[in-house]
């Protein structure tokens, strides 16, 4: 019954994911996954490429999307199905380690409905973060059950889904140190070998990725500390846009933040709810530990392990300029557990502590509901989806005419003050440059030309005013 209710509520909470259309990188992956032979499918797994090596979460997933006739609802349904498998095994892992059902249920619930999953469930290109969560949960569960062949198999699948799966190896070492007080290198040897092997496999494609400005590795200590701080604050519930309004964590937000709160009352309610939640949680846990000093050592050791686990899975991400809430898929597990553990201490008591624990669960649900609504907008996923839906409608209405031309020219308005969302420059990003052609006009040789790059309209062009799509 618990999982039925959890999956139903999660589906309802993130329901708008099912109507989010393809955009940006989706078109690139749809293009490279359009194949007609088994040899081409095998080639998905070749590490010789100029994009990151994620053959399962990218090429294979989008190949399945083609098999589903590019039905956006079914594609998202597949993402949710994989996510729910991960949630189920997250519960089994926690119960296996703690033998405590309420704690296992609560942690899984907190993780499952957290609003940060907007960034993993809405955009199909971030399916990689969902599938690595599920595969690593399966790998760790089977590791704990001493089913090493199954564990290694799921670890390999995770490694074929995203390069950060390598961080599972240092996590296993950390886990052994905390819980066994020693490391059995023999049991960890297959994972170490696989980690080293895939590190070498990733090297070819990663050199193209880290050449991009946002993904250049930067060993600046100030950047690393700033990144770690924001990932941690995001995991606690701060909105994704807060870094834009804070010049320092030790200073109040800039003036524009007050305007934001005035214009969007839901954000103010969200932030007050978040502050109330953590205020009550910290005070009640402090009171509990003061009254139950025998639990202090257990609590602090567990907190130390969870914080270490959080840092392990943030790992190399801290060295990139580009920060994105999507990367909390794995670190969020540890933050969800410590919150659930604190509330579990309260609800197992009587009187005010039990009431406070129940109130905190209700407040967490409210924060997640408000957070999903806020981040559906601030993520711009809905904006991007609306643009590509408008594009689909426009192309469907004019397909016969467009196919008679050699070029599609996206023309910008001549009015200097009229440039909605960046005009043709925005369309180039949303439509992934030339990659959208394969999706909307498969098999054609049409080329897109964007007005912000070339003011001259090529001969034999079908001209589209950018705002006719952006403002539909």
Task: Please indicate, yes or no, whether residues 364 and 402 belong to a single structural domain of this protein.
Answer: no
Task: Please indicate, yes or no, whether residues 316 and 411 belong to a single structural domain of this protein.
Answer: no
Q: In terms of residue numbers, what domain contains 444? A: 382-470
Q: Please give the average per-residue pLDDT across 79-87, as a whole number.
A: 98
Task: Measure Cα distances from 371 to 21, 37, 55, 254 in Å.
Answer: 21, 44, 32, 22
Last residue of a domain, one of 346, 379, 412: 379
Task: Please indicate, yes or no, whether residues 309 and 393 belong to a single structural domain of this protein.
Answer: no
* Least confident interval from 30-39, 83-92, 177-186, 422-431: 177-186
Is a pLDDT exceeding 70 seen at residue 167? yes
Residues 6+ apart with CB under 8 A from 113: 6, 9, 10, 13, 365, 368
Task: Please indicate, yes or no, whether residues 132 and 252 belong to a single structural domain of this protein.
Answer: yes
Task: Please indicate, yes or no, whether residues 399 and 267 belong to a single structural domain of this protein.
Answer: no
CA 212 to chain centre: 20
Rounded distance between C-alpha atoms, residue 209 and residue 439, angstroms: 24
Mean pLDDT of the chain: 92
Q: Please give the average per-residue pLDDT across 155-184, as a whole number.
A: 93
**Most confidently modeled of 156-165, 245-254, 377-386, 418-427?**
156-165
Do 305 and 178 contact (CB within 8 A), yes or no?
yes
Regarding predicted confidence, which is higher, 224 or 391?
391
Coarse DSSP helix, strand, coil percentages of the chain, rounded to the nearest 5 percent: 70, 5, 25
Confidence band (pLDDT; 50, 70, 90) for 333?
A: very high
Regarding predicted confidence, which is higher, 251 or 78?
78
Q: Please give the average per-residue pLDDT across 459-468, as a whole number.
A: 93
Cβ density class 199-231: b for 16+ within 10 Å, e for less: eebbeebbeebeeeeebeeeeeeeebebbeebb
C-alpha dihedral (71, 156, 47, 196), degrees to nearest 10: 150
**pLDDT tens digits, residue range 51-67?**
889 999 999 999 999 99
Rounded distance between C-alpha atoms, residue 30 and residue 37, angstroms: 16
Q: Please give the average per-residue pLDDT across 144-155, as a whole number.
A: 96
Task: Please indicate, yes or no, whether residues 25 and 136 belong to a single structural domain of this protein.
Answer: yes
User: How does DSSP classify residue 433?
Assistant: T
pLDDT at 88: 98
Task: Please indicate, yes or no, whether residues 216 and 341 belong to a single structural domain of this protein.
Answer: yes
pLDDT at 418: 63
Task: Please indicate, yes or no, whether residues 366 and 306 belong to a single structural domain of this protein.
Answer: yes
Rounded distance between C-alpha atoms, residue 228 and residue 431, angstroms: 32
Confidence band (pLDDT; 50, 70, 90) for 121?
A: very high
pLDDT at 323: 84
Task: Please indicate, yes or no, whether residues 387 and 333 belong to a single structural domain of this protein.
Answer: no
**pLDDT tens digits, residue range 25-34?**
999 999 999 9
User: How does DSSP classify residue 454?
Assistant: -
Is a pLDDT exceeding 90 seen at residue 13? yes
What secondary structure does DSSP assign to 145-211, as a single string? Answer: TT-HHHHHHHHHHHHTT-GGGGGHHHHHHHHHHHHTSS--HHHHHHHHHHHHHHHHHHHHHHHHHTT
The count of domains in the chain is 2
Last residue of a domain, one of 340, 360, 379: 379
Last residue of a domain, one of 336, 353, 379: 379
Confidence band (pLDDT; 50, 70, 90) for 398?
A: very high
Confidence band (pLDDT; 50, 70, 90) for 246?
A: confident
Regarding predicted confidence, which is higher, 121 or 215?
121
Task: Please indicate, yes or no, whether residues 391 and 373 belong to a single structural domain of this protein.
Answer: no
pTM score of the predicted model: 0.94
* Least confident interval from 177-191, 230-244, 450-464: 177-191
């Amino acid at each position: 019954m618990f999982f039925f209710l959890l999956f139903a509520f999660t589906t309802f909470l993130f329901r708008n994911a099912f109507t989010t259309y393809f955009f940006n990188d989706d078109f690139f992956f749809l293009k490279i996954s359009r194949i007609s032979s088994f040899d081409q499918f095998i080639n998905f797994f070749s590490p010789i490429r100029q994009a990151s090596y994620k053959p399962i979460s990218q090429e294979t997933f989008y190949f399945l999307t083609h098999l589903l006739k590019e039905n956006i609802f079914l594609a998202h349904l597949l993402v949710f199905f994989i996510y729910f498998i991960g949630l189920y095994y997250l519960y089994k892992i926690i119960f296996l380690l703690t033998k405590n059902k309420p704690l296992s249920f609560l942690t899984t619930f907190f993780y499952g409905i957290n609003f940060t999953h907007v960034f993993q469930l809405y955009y199909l290109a971030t399916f990689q973060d969902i599938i690595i969560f599920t595969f690593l949960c399966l790998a760790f569960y089977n590791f704990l059950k001493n089913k090493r062949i199954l564990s290694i198999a799921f670890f390999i699948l995770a490694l074929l889904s995203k390069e950060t799966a390598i961080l599972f190896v240092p996590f296993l070492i950390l886990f052994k140190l905390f819980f066994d007080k020693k490391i059995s290198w023999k049991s960890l040897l297959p994972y170490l070998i696989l980690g080293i092997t895939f590190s070498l496999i990733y090297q070819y494609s990663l050199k193209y990725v880290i050449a991009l400005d946002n993904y250049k590795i930067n060993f600046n200590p100030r950047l690393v500390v700033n990144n770690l701080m924001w990932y941690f604050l995001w995991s606690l519930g701060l909105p994704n846009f807060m870094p834009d309004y804070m010049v320092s964590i030790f200073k109040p937000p800039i003036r524009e933040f007050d305007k934001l709160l005035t214009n969007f009352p839901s954000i103010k309610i969200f932030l007050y709810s978040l502050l109330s939640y953590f205020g009550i949680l910290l005070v009640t846990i402090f009171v509990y530990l003061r009254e139950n000093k025998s639990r202090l050592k257990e609590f602090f050791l567990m907190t130390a392990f969870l914080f270490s686990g959080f840092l392990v899975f943030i790992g190399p991400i801290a060295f990139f300029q580009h920060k994105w809430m999507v990367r909390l898929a794995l670190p969020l597990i540890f933050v969800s557990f410590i919150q659930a553990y604190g509330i579990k201490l309260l609800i197992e008591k009587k009187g005010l502590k039990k009431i406070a624990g129940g109130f905190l669960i209700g407040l967490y649900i409210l924060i997640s509901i408000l957070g999903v609504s806020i981040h559906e907008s601030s993520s711009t996923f809905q904006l991007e989806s609306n643009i590509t839906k408008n594009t689909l409608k426009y192309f469907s209405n004019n397909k016969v005419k467009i196919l008679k031309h050699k070029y599609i020219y996206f023309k910008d308005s001549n009015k200097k003050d009229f440039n909605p969302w960046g005009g043709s420059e925005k369309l180039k990003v949303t439509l992934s440059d030339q990659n959208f052609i394969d999706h909307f006009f498969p098999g054609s040789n049409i080329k897109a030309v964007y007005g912000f790059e070339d003011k001259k309209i090529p001969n034999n062009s079908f001209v589209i005013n950018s705002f006719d799509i952006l403002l539909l």
